[in-house]
Structure 1
Amino acid sequence: MAPDALFPRNTSFALLRESQDTRVRTRLGGIYYLLAWILTWSFSAAPGSMLVLGLAATAFFALMMVMRWLHRLPAHENNECLRQWIDRHWALILLTSLGWGLAHAWALLRPEFEPSRLIATLSTVAFSTAMAFNFSMRKRRCVVAILLLYAPGLAVLAWQWPSQEALAVTLAFYLSYLLLALNRSHREYHATLTMEQQLVDQRERYEQLSRTDSLTQLGNRLQFNSLFPAMVANALRQGTPLSLVLLDIDFFKRINDEYGHSSGDACLSDFAERMRKVFRRDSDALLRLGGEEFGVLMPGTPLDEACQLAERFRVELATRGFELHGQRLPLTTSLGVGCLDAKRNESAEAFFKRVDDALYRAKAEGRDRLALALS
């Protein structure tokens, strides 16, 4: 069982990071769309004569701002939830872009907006620039958003040709620049994301190595110390059984003394492989706790089932022994088996001590046997 198997990582790093970036970068945008419209409308020649449309547009941009703020990241950060969140948030971005594009076109079309047309045009340039540099993670959607900001106004300027020729050409040239800048920003964003993903993967590999016994490839004591309290807490919270099996190879020191440490290492590796064949459920966590002592954490497993598997392992090990240089050597193990006592709200330390005491009792009573932890 992997170190983090109790808490599986179903989340794509790229999707999670994109969602977080989108969330952070979109919060201020809603405010400025609303402010830009209020300024454009307020500084027009006759805001009172456009009261209904002006208030309607104000309400629209205020609604878009509030919806952006309220659209929080999903509680369950799996791929499907994140994709749905991104799609819905982009719908808000695109709808806001369309709203501003129409507002800009209206300001260019109506003579009442003559005093404030520059505000609307500069705001369009600012919004499209921010779009190109802040939302480049989804290039196609960003292109659509920029076109929604620009296209209505450019259509009005083209209709008013040649009186608006200079402004139309200037905005068209700037639009071409934004699309080129967007392409570069898109590449840089994903290059940075790839680099961060590599760093995360490398950190996780180091973490995995630090929690894995290099000889047996089982979890080590560090992993046990991290996993065991979490499993105990989880079992107590959910009211599910949790069994623990502690195993100690009998007379392991003799193998090292008589055949050398390399043979001892081979014995430990073979012992771990035998454990994998018996305790092979995905939920079982197999660990080397140190020296010749091993453990198996079995969430959702009652005591009788844990005892059956532990006894099966003991019998098979004693029957087959350990083959070394073509010679079959006797190999046995002593085991302590216990189940968490949820009725007493037992702590991880008390639970471990009960099973560890059972292991030492099995060794004291002659080894090659299983002892149950006392309640």
Structure 2
Amino acid sequence: MADIQELMHQAPPSLAQYRRQRAAADLYQRALPGTIFYGIALAITAWVGGYFPHYGSAMAAVFALYGVLWYLRWVHTPPQDSSNVQASDTWWWRHWTLVNVGCVLWCLFFLAVGHLEQGLSTAFLVAAVSTIAFSSAGCETYSLHKRQALWVVVLLQVPALLYFAVAVPALWPVCAVLAVNFIYQLTHIRRRAAEYDTQMAIEHALLTSRTEVERLSRLDALTGLANRREYDSTFRTHWRLAARQQGNLALMVVDLDHFKRINDTYGHLAGDACLQQVARLTGELFKRSSDMVARIGGEEFAVLLPDTNAEEAMQLAQTLRRTLAETPLQWDEHRIPVTASIGVDCMRWDLDLTPQASFSRIDSACYTAKARGRNRVVQA
């Protein structure tokens, strides 16, 4: 029962954990195509500028570096366990290093084009427009981390602009335009980063709400046990697995005796306390990870016991019956006796053709226990 209860009570990830996992996935997916576009822009610029005949080896080296970067980004997948903060941080900064290296390579190429052209040639304008496009895309693509997005924009253009401003006076007009664009991008990064944080908060709130709704849909609100829906699903799964392997699977159907009398005599609050006490005692008795205790009706419970034969199930049922009978409910000044009639058996694969047939057979044994005087165990 421990695994089932843990699943039903499992909390969704914290906002920080969710954002860390989501940001890592976004960074991986968004960074992967970048080297391809760098290569396309590099090829167009080199073709327009006629660089291939004169600088073929250098161009081949840059293309190779971008190919290696693409491969390294592709194989450097995010860690599966987002709860491991140290591993996530290590992956994060390594991947940002790969992104920054790509930015530096492009900036050096842009700087080299300006140095070779020494003016507003077609090749330089293609490189300048590509730089604007890459830095604008960086504002959007890397808005998941404001500082890193700023660093991407800086690495893509600032070193080249400083060189042009000092060494190539003919490019000053373009430097002025790029500087204005850079200032605009700084404000855009701040806005997009805030929007990304807001989006993460909304997604996390929706995830938390959905998880809570799913958890509550599988829990009995009063006792905290699995409810009928969760029991039906789990029983069918275990039944089919056991039937395929012809293995042992035991089931108890537990019905409290004279429960209506408790409600009528002491009130519904006492009845609720009685159900909670039975749930607690039953849960304390069946602690294996595979065991399941569920409330399947008003005062009816089911205990599912995988890998348990009929003899073991009978002994456990008798232990449960005695435990309940020896633990009266203390309610105000009253000690209310609580007993149960229990039907129990292991699945019989020569008789039980469906899960419903198994349940009906054992449920009938529970009714037989009531007919024989209650507070007893009957094997189906």
TM-score when normalising by structure 2 = 0.80
Alpha-carbon contact 2:9-2:215 (below 8 Å) kept? no
Question: Residue type of the partner of 2:65?
Answer: F
Matched, 1:19 2:24: yes
2:260 is equivalent to residue 256 of structure 1: no
Q: Does 1:138 align with 2:145?
A: yes
Counterpart among 84, 90, 99 of residue 105 in structure 2: 99
In structure 2, the residue corresponding to 1:195 is in which secondary structure? Answer: helix
Over 3 Å counting, the alpha-carbon distance change for 1:270 and 1:137 in structure 2 is: same
Aligned mates of 2:346, 2:42 — CA distance in 1: 67
1:280/1:126 CA distance change after superposition, 3 Å? same
Alpha-carbon spacing, 1:189–1:335, altered in 2? closer, same or farther (3 Å): same
CA 1:148–1:306: 2 relative to 1, 3 Å: farther
| Equivalence map 1:168-317=2 (5 Å) | 168-230=175-237, 244-279=251-286, 284-297=291-304, 310-317=317-324
Cross-structure match for 1:53: 58
d(CA) in 1 for partners of 2:133 and 2:304? 58
- The Cα shift of 1:105 comes to 1.8
Q: Cα distance, 1:130 vs. partner? A: 0.8
CA shift digits 1:152-201 (9 cap, x unpaired)? 31243144153433333332332232222212211110111101211221
Extract unaligned runs of 5+ from structure 2. Answer: none
Distance 1:90 1:311, change over 3 A: farther
Compared CA separation, residues 266 and 346, structure 1 to 2 (3 A)? same
Structure 1 residue 31 corresponds to structure 2 residue 36: yes
Partner of 2:46: 41
Q: CA deviation at 1:123?
A: 1.0
3-state SS in 1 of match to 2:169? coil
Is contact 1:46–1:112 with CA below 8 Å preserved after alignment? no
Please give the alpha-carbon distance, in whole angstroms, between the structure 2 residues aligned to 1:319 and 1:136. 64
- 2:83 is aligned to 79
Give, in angstroms, the shift of residue 52 of structure 1: 0.9
- In structure 1, what residue type is equivalent to 2:83? N
Whether the 8 Å CA contact 2:12–2:207 is kept in 1: the answer is: no
After superposition, give the CA deviation of every residue in 1:211-248 in whole Å (9 maximum; x if it has no partner): 32232232221222344445567788999976544321
* Alpha-carbon spacing, 1:273–1:8, altered in 2? closer, same or farther (3 Å): closer
**Cα distance change of structure 1 residues 118 and 93 upon mapping to structure 2, 3 Å threshold:** same
AA of the residue aligned to 1:59: A
One-letter identity of the residue aligned with 1:51:
G
Q: 3-state SS of the aligned residue for 1:295? A: strand
State the structure with bigger RCO (CA 8 A, min sep 6), 1 or 2: 2
Distance in 1, Cα, partners of 2:108 & 2:246: 59
Q: How many aligned positions are there?
A: 372
Task: Please report the TM-score for the alignment, with normalisation by the length of structure 1.
Answer: 0.80
Q: Is the 8 A contact 1:43 1:116 kept in 2?
A: yes
SS across alignment from 1:167: helix
Q: Which amino acid aligns with 1:43?
A: V
User: What residue identity is the alignment partner of 1:107?
Assistant: V
**Residues 360 and 48 (structure 1 numbering): CA distance in 2 closer, same or farther, change over 3 Å?**
farther
In structure 2, what residue type is equivalent to 1:109?
H
Say which SS state the counterpart of residue 295 (structure 2) adopts: strand
Partner of 2:255, secondary structure, is strand
Q: Which runs of 5+ in 1 are unaligned?
A: none
* Cα distance between partner residues in 2 of 1:67 and 1:345: 57
RMSD: 3.9
CA distance in 2, matches of 1:6, 1:240: 26
Corresponding residue SS for 1:179 = helix
Q: State the shift of 1:93 in Å.
A: 2.1
